[in-house]
């Protein structure tokens, strides 16, 4: 607030001084002989202009006539401006009469001199008012844009948190039951399974704090997830990885890959009597990073194409990458379903 006041005073003093210097410059250039009353009369105009424009600003603030309220109070604004114009010119005319700041050889009545001053000096107040309101309209527009950007950011953050709040492993109870069965049968594998489950839960909790994470981290979580699911499905689940190591440091949304793999297990493998295969692929293609999850099964009804896992993937990619990322899910040969995420490569502008 203090900076705005300082800026106002600098503009106020500088503007009126600039007006004075401009009038002196034009007088030297276009007037061969400057009358002796020129400088004192100019000083009176500058001082009274400084006084009345400051008064005008104070009244504008007092009556709440700054944008956007001005649109509803135009008649008050009109009365105020007309009043200031009359007072400004009355003051100038009165001081000019008192100090005789006029050419005595010109036989002009007091009323006529006032009208001449009203016509010649009023534009100063009108120009000042135009600049003042232009400044506030620009400031209002800037604030509106900033508020709009902040609001969009808040909406984006809330949407992401809403999406992430649902992205928690649905297999927890199955995993716990599998671990319970292993405690007596294979204690060492049970301890490993507890660590794998802990890693997944920790990653799910941290997902709300991050927009993207390295692909390698997500891949490790998926490996833990599939290892736990393998306990449940045993030989019915076949797991394959086709990973280009150069993609491991590429940023991806947290828990997104795990969500797609979970979707593949839920809608694909679990519905196959003989089980099936889950393949995770990561590679660079056509200047994009492609992350693909393939699973045995077939897209039938819309249950596995319009569920939360699929819709959340669409929404997160839209929010995070603003149209630069794509998501596709479709049937492919060999009785497989393919879910493909196409992401921009980090460090490469589209």
| 288 located within any domain | yes
From 164, 199, 231, the end of a domain falls on 164
More confident site: 179 or 128: 128
Residues 182 and 129 in one domain: no
Residues 225 and 212 in one domain: yes
Highest mean pLDDT among 157-161, 195-199, 221-225, 247-251: 247-251
> 305 is written with which tokens?
């194409």
pLDDT of residue 284: 94
More confident site: 174 or 329: 329
Residues 82 and 131 in one domain: yes
More confident site: 8 or 151: 8
| 350 located within any domain | no
Q: State the average pLDDT over residues 310-335.
A: 83
Residues 153 and 175 in one domain: no
pLDDT of residue 208: 57
Beta bridge partner(s), residue 290:
283, 342
Residues 188 and 218 in one domain: yes
| 349 located within any domain | no
Beta bridge partner(s), residue 289:
284, 343
Residues 101 and 146 in one domain: yes
With cut-offs at 50, 70 and 90, classify the pLDDT of residue 28: confident
| 245 located within any domain | yes
| 56 located within any domain | yes
| 250 located within any domain | yes
* 3-state SS assignment for residue 280: strand
With cut-offs at 50, 70 and 90, classify the pLDDT of residue 278: very high
Distance CA 38, CA 29 (A): 14
pLDDT tens digits for range 41-76 = 889 889 999 999 999 999 988 888 877 666 677 888
Residues 235 and 266 in one domain: yes
Q: Which residues contact 77 (CB under 8 A, 6 or more apart)?
A: 60, 65, 70
CATH number of the domain bearing residue 319: 3.30.565.10
Residues 189 and 160 in one domain: no
Contact by Cβ (8 Å): 204, 253: no
Residue 282 scores a pLDDT above 90? yes
Contact by Cβ (8 Å): 208, 161: yes
pLDDT tens digits for range 152-170 = 665 565 555 555 544 444 5
Distance CA 8, CA 141 (A): 19
| 216 located within any domain | yes
pLDDT tens digits for range 74-126 = 888 888 989 998 888 888 888 877 887 766 656 566 677 678 777 778 888 88
More confident site: 179 or 159: 179
Q: Which domain holds residue 292?
A: 167-344
| 272 located within any domain | yes
**Reduced 3-state DSSP string for 43-87:** HHHHHHHHHHHHHHHHHHHHCCCCCCHHHHCHHHHHHHHHHHHHH
Residues 132 and 223 in one domain: no
Percentage, residues of the chain above pLDDT 90: 23
Residues 194 and 319 in one domain: yes
More confident site: 148 or 346: 346
For tokens 């797609």, what's the residue? 260
Residues 82 and 188 in one domain: no
H-assigned helices in 167-268 = 172-185, 187-206, 215-233, 256-267
- Number of domains forming the structure of the chain: 2
From 123, 141, 164, the end of a domain falls on 164
Residue 202 scores a pLDDT above 80? no
From 164, 188, 203, the end of a domain falls on 164
Percentage, residues of the chain above pLDDT 70: 79
pLDDT of residue 167: 44
Cα–Cα–Cα angle for 126, 131, 136, rounded to 5 degrees:
125
pLDDT of residue 289: 94
Residues 173 and 140 in one domain: no
pLDDT of residue 38: 80
pLDDT of residue 168: 46
pLDDT of residue 152: 64
Contact by Cβ (8 Å): 41, 96: yes
Burial pattern 57-71, b for ≥16 Cβ within 10 A else e, equals bebbeeeebbeeebe
pLDDT of residue 121: 81
Residue 269 scores a pLDDT above 70? yes
């Amino acid at each position: 607030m203090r900076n705005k006041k300082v800026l106002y005073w600098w503009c106020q003093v500088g503007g009126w001084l600039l007006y004075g210097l401009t009038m002196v410059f034009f007088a030297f250039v276009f007037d061969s002989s400057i009358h002796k009353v020129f400088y004192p009369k100019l000083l009176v105009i500058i001082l009274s202009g400084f006084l009345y424009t400051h008064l005008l600003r104070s009244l504008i603030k007092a009556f709440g006539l700054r944008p956007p309220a001005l649109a509803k109070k135009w008649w008050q604004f009109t009365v105020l401006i007309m009043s200031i114009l009359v007072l400004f010119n009355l003051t100038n005319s009165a001081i000019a009469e008192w100090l005789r700041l006029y050419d005595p050889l010109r036989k002009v009545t007091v009323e006529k001199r006032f009208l001449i001053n009203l016509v010649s000096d009023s534009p100063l107040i009108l120009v000042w008012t135009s600049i003042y309101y232009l400044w506030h309209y620009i400031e209002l527009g800037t604030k509106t844009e900033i508020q709009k950007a902040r609001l969009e950011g808040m909406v984006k953050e809330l949407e992401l948190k809403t999406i992430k709040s649902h992205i928690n492993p649905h297999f927890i109870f199955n995993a716990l039951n599998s671990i319970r069965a292993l405690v007596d049968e294979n204690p060492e594998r049970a301890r490993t399974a507890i660590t794998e489950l802990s890693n997944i839960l920790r990653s799910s909790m941290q997902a709300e704090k991050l927009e993207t994470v390295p692909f390698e981290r997500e891949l490790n979580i998926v490996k833990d997830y599939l290892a736990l699911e393998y306990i449940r499905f045993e030989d019915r689940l076949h797991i394959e990885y086709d990973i280009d190591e150069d993609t491991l440091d590429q940023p991806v949304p947290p828990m997104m890959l795990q969500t797609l793999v979970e979707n593949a297990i839920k809608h694909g493998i679990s519905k196959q009597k003989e089980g099936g295969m889950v393949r995770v692929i990561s590679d660079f293609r056509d200047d994009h990073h492609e992350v693909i999850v393939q699973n045995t099964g077939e897209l039938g009804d819309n249950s596995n194409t319009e569920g939360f896992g699929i819709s959340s993937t669409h929404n997160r990619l839209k929010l995070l990458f603003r149209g630069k990322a794509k998501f596709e899910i479709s049937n492919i040969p060999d009785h497989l379903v393919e879910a493909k995420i196409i992401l921009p490569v980090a460090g490469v502008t589209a």
